[in-house]
Amino acid sequence: MPGRFKTLEILSIAATFILLEVAAIAMLRHSSPLEDLWLNRVSQRVSAFCWGWTGDVSRYLSLAGENERLVAENHALEAQLREAQAIIAARDLEEYGAAHRLSPDFLYIPARIAKISRGGQHNYVIIDKGSEDGITPGAGIVTPNGVVGIIGAVDRHYSYGRTLMNPGVGISVKTGSDGMSAILRWDGKSTEGALLQDLPIHYEVTPQDTVFTSGYSAIFPSGIPLGVTGELRTVDGLSAEVQVSLFQDFRRLDFVTVVVNPDKEEMEALQR
């Protein structure tokens, strides 16, 4: 109870002080024109400060909603940009194919890489297109710089594939002045290195020859440039291999094109 009375006493004193201050200001306001003018200026400045402060608070509180709107807008613009870049990449590959007589029977589907591994021995890639976009298992993954890999499994909206940086992937290629065919595989070391393997010892290669897809498989059209040849060396005295410097650097991959051969199953059935 003593504490309660003490609080009431303090409040009473405060109220009395405020009333006396208001009365004093009122008396001062009507005492002379000079004091009246001074008080008007002070009150206007106080009002302007209060209005400005409340406006700043209101704008600050509205920033959260504005930021959310801008974030959503940025995401939408980024999605449109990614789609446009993927379409441009596919169009560039088709134009290259038309200029270099790539097979017109392949379907070209633009896609974006959702995930890719590079640091292991069995590297893979996941792209953001699936069965609903026309992707099928066994389709090839390419860019204007070469071959990326082969689709292994397909879901509705995503597809999984093994990249060329995987010992289980071999690409049928042609190289050399006589256009001899060989199998191109990753060298297991770098993101830009590959090997032409199991070549006859008498095979002659000119450094800086361009290596192309042969078109002998049903996965890739012929004539896609993959890289240039380097040093030739013998392996166990029985065969030779050639180092290849790939055009495609797997450290710089974002957009790809999936090449689907509609006749692939029929061709494989005939082979069987």
Give one DSSP letter per residue of 149-214, joined into a string: EEEEEE-SS-EEEEESSSTT--EEEEETTTTEEEEEEE-SS-SSEEEEEEE-TT----TTPEEEE-
Poorest-pLDDT segment among 85-99, 116-130, 232-246:
85-99
Q: Does position 56 have pLDDT exceeding 50, yes or no?
A: yes
C-alpha to C-alpha distance for 126 and 149, rounded to whole angstroms: 11
Rounded to an integer, the average pLDDT of 140-165 is: 94
Poorest-pLDDT segment among 11-15, 49-53, 202-206, 256-260:
49-53
Q: Which residue has the higher pLDDT, 197 or 151?
A: 151
| pLDDT tens track for 85-102 | 555 655 555 555 444 445
Q: Does position 27 have pLDDT exceeding 80, yes or no?
A: no
Predicted local distance difference test score (pLDDT) of residue 216: 84
Q: Which of 231, 72, 248, 220 is nearest to 148 (CA)?
A: 248
Determine the longest span between alpha carbons in the chain, in angstroms: 118
Percent of the chain past pLDDT 70, that is, above it, reads 57
In the chain, where the domains are located:
96-271
Q: Are 109 and 133 spatial neighbours (Cβ–Cβ below 8 Å)?
A: yes
CATH for the 96-271 domain, from 1.10.510.10, 1.10.230.10, 3.30.300.130, 2.40.10.340: 2.40.10.340
